[in-house]
């Protein structure tokens, strides 16, 4: 049976560290553009207690999302020693494309995937490239799309990348903006005849009625701000409730389709959105199978240091675990893992993979 295998990974983690204490220098306002009474330090302390985020990474002023994507792609290719000319596709998941520092304009012309192919110097016209915009679940959705392309014989080998510079589209006067970060993660895939390894199953759902605008672009919370300039905004409580209700079900759907037992799961790589939310999602997931507690060591997290880089969180986290950057998390051949994400749209997806 033809299955989609991960050959190698790469990650571009910006060096600029933005601490919570840096936000304590700002004045925060709510959506009514009313100043928040709590001192900024109290706001940031409460934020950390809820999200688990202590710091996040921002791209340097001369770097855009496609630069991060290209760096991560080169790492994945270098690790595998694969010739870029052998690639059949490059898919880049993103939300805002390239946004230059001190601007608020998204640039998708040409597509980020085209920029990556250009940067890699690939001459092969048959290497098709495109961007995928579906919120934070973008990298998993790119994985699903790539798996379908490989299994139907449209492609043999390619790159999926999640890249974002959310620091360019956040409102510094909105306390929710402290969640967001920059980064990129790349994964090299190849179709191989395998029995029990590779992509085993996946599931995806979209709720776009009441839930469509839980994440959106809106005016700054700062009074008298220019209404023509819009920033990323979110309905945090609604997203939290939505995620707890629907994400565990999508995860269960993918695992059920794989016909593997939850007891076999070695790791769950969940989108690094909010520590408490992620923990609640995982707990509900295991509860669906009759477990009161989550097995120890099943959920690696990097949100504390890297924040929420949207489409880049999962491939970056997976790369870090593979590279032995966590003393208490590692993977071996034969391990069963599950990827899951939720984000703007609202969209949810999950994928089961065996090493």
CA 155 to chain centre: 24
CA 281, 350, 335, 164 dihedral sign is negative
Q: Which residues contact 296 (CB under 8 A, 6 or more apart)?
A: none
Asked if 190 and 9 count as a contact pair (C-beta separation under 8 A), the reply is no
Same structural domain, 177 and 261:
no
pLDDT tens for each residue of 88-115: 999 999 999 999 988 888 999 999 999 9
- Which range of residues forms the domain containing residue 274? 199-354
> What is the reported pLDDT for 163?
98
The helix (H) or strand (E) run that includes residue 137 is none
Asked if 120 and 70 count as a contact pair (C-beta separation under 8 A), the reply is yes
Same structural domain, 262 and 307:
yes
Query: How is 316-332 classified by DSSP, letter by letter?
Result: HHHHHHHTT--TT----
Same structural domain, 181 and 228:
no
Same structural domain, 132 and 255:
no
| Count of beta carbons in the 10 Å neighbourhood of residue 20 | 19
Number of domains in the chain: 2
> What is the reported pLDDT for 257?
97
The sheet that has 347-354: what strands, in order across it? Answer: 198-206, 347-354, 336-343, 265-270
pLDDT tens for each residue of 3-24: 999 999 999 999 999 999 898 8
pLDDT higher than 90, residue 256: yes
Q: Which two tokens stand for residue 225?
A: 């701000």
Please identify, among 146, 166, 194, the residue that sits at the C-terminal boundary of a domain.
Answer: 194
Same structural domain, 254 and 232:
yes
Angle at 286 between CA 282 and CA 291, to 5 degrees: 140
Distance CA 72, CA 116 (A): 10
| Count of beta carbons in the 10 Å neighbourhood of residue 109 | 8
Tell me the H-state helices in 102-235. 112-120, 138-151
Same structural domain, 129 and 203:
no
Distance CA 66, CA 26 (A): 30
Asked if 142 and 155 count as a contact pair (C-beta separation under 8 A), the reply is no
Same structural domain, 221 and 160:
no
> What is the reported pLDDT for 23?
87
Give the mean model confidence (pLDDT) for residues 39-49. Answer: 90
Give the mean model confidence (pLDDT) for residues 226-237. Answer: 92
């Amino acid at each position: 049976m033809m299955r989609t295998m991960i050959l190698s990974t790469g990650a571009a983690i910006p060096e600029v560290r933005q601490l919570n204490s840096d936000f304590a220098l700002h004045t925060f306002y709510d959506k009514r553009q009313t100043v928040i009474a709590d001192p900024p330090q109290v706001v940031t302390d409460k934020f950390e207690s809820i999200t688990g985020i202590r710091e996040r990474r921002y791209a340097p002023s001369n770097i855009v999302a496609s630069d991060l994507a290209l760096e991560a792609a080169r790492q994945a290719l270098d690790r595998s020693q694969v010739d870029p000319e052998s690639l059949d596709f490059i898919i880049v998941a993103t939300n805002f494309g390239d946004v230059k520092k001190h601007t608020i304009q998204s640039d998708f012309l040409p597509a980020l995937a085209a920029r990556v192919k250009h940067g890699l110097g690939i001459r092969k016209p048959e290497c098709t490239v495109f961007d995928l915009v579906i919120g934070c679940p973008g990298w998993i959705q790119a994985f699903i799309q790539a798996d379908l392309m490989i299994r139907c014989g449209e492609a043999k080998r390619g790159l999926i990348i999640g890249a974002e510079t959310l620091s360019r589209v956040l409102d510094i006067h909105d306390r929710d903006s402290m969640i967001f970060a920059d980064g990129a993660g790349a994964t090299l895939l190849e179709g191989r005849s395998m029995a029990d390894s590779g992509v085993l199953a996946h599931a995806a759902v979209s709720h776009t009625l009441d839930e469509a605008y839980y994440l959106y672009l809106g005016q700054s919370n700062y009074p008298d701000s220019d209404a023509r300039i819009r920033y990323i905004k979110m309905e945090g409580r609604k997203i939290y409730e939505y995620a707890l209700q629907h994400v565990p079900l999508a995860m269960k759907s993918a695992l059920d389709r794989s016909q593997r037992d939850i007891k076999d799961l070695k790791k769950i790589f969940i989108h690094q959105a909010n520590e408490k939310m992620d923990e609640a999602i995982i707990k509900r997931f295991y509860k669906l199978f009759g477990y009161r507690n989550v097995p120890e060591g099943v959920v690696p997290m990097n949100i504390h240091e890297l924040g929420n880089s949207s489409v880049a969180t999962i491939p970056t986290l997976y790369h870090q675990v593979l590279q032995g950057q966590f003393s208490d998390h590692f993977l071996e051949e034969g391990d069963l893992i599950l990827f899951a994400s939720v984000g703007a749209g609202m969209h949810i997806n999950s994928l089961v993979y065996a090493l």
